[in-house]
Structure 1
């Protein structure tokens, strides 16, 4: 529906953080922008679909992702994200006045399809910066379609056509020596293999080989049983069913998305043309 690529997310995050910094400075406080939280190992789909070329070179991306983490940091439990980026979790630094300037003092309620609700900041530098970057109606539309997106994913994974294709995929994997019932289980086994290695060099090398072999078998079986086509067909049907009544809102959200990306990209290009001058402030 509405997605951001990793480069787009990084640019948007940087633009938002710069706007927060300016806003805080105008309110008499200092603020240090936080690094982009973009996960470069995040898959480009929520179902774990693979291509053979990608799998042959990168596997699932699990091993290098874990190796990049500091020791004693728990690895992610899943590579099937269903939560999109929303309000950032800002580190609590400074006085209560600093916190109020950053996060505001009021919240607004956004009603979700099905009766749910989500609270988002209504004032403060974070809220103000997001409104300037994305538009005043962004929060309502964003959470509306985030909820609908999650419903689409649920319907797709429970679709009988998809389930039948996944059963055939599991049979194919078994023929290759991998007794796994789901794609999630195949990835989980690779993760456990690395965890058991405990960063021992020889064991890590074994885990890498295991990941590459498993992912390649996974990708080949997906192709053999036409799993991608099954997911695509199911998703098209689910989206048509759930989103047809929200066509104007979806068009508006995509317009706001494109404007925000263009604005963030323009700021990035401007920064690349020369050094950015920053002014000191007090807290």
Structure 2
């Protein structure tokens, strides 16, 4: 178990927030496979402030996905804390603040990982939001902004002093994006610097890797991002390996196909057929990576326009 403020996670394996990936349908699939905590796509605090219609869709939460963490991004303490208070009645259990996103347009606005360069502003954002809410507030950070600014332990201490309930650390700098190797040693240093729970993130691609990260860093939880894309079963494997030391068999082609079809149905329920079919294209590429004939399937899927066509193609190829 993992305790984050008033929230108890049955398992310390967490689905990372990923824009365009961790929407409601995908989170439900990961919840069924045993994820200890589900993190929503990051949402702009400023967009919520101005009642952006498209942003409201990102707030969709289902009772079957508890516990779930809602993530905001921004750089204005007043805006983040005000918006957080306004949406606190929604059925999320943890509020997370993004201070790790490396995307240029986010960084250019002084948001995401750009905040790693401003400890005082980090303190203001976290402390104001903590005071505004009754729910736990957590923060996701990176190793640092670049090789000249590696300050994750310092930022983690600021977060703890400001009242943060936990911190997630991606072991890469902003300049690295997702290239190179994640530095697990920085996660260990963060764990040694604070007393709040520390969640490690970066290069965990299997249950064995997750346990290895925990042993090497002492982290309290492990966050899974890209390794969960097209692979919600990773949470089943993490749970089983941690409890029994054994990993369940990987899904068969038929099971992969059935999961894709279910994913498609959930997407249609939330977004309608037109968007669902188009969003499934990237998911199919992830689900079928490494399978025989997957490149041809991906090419064909990219030309499908309806649920019937997608379903027919999956049954034909898998």
Give me the TM-score of the superposition, normalised by structure 1.
0.26
The structure number with the bigger radius of gyration is 1
Give me the TM-score of the superposition, normalised by structure 2.
0.24
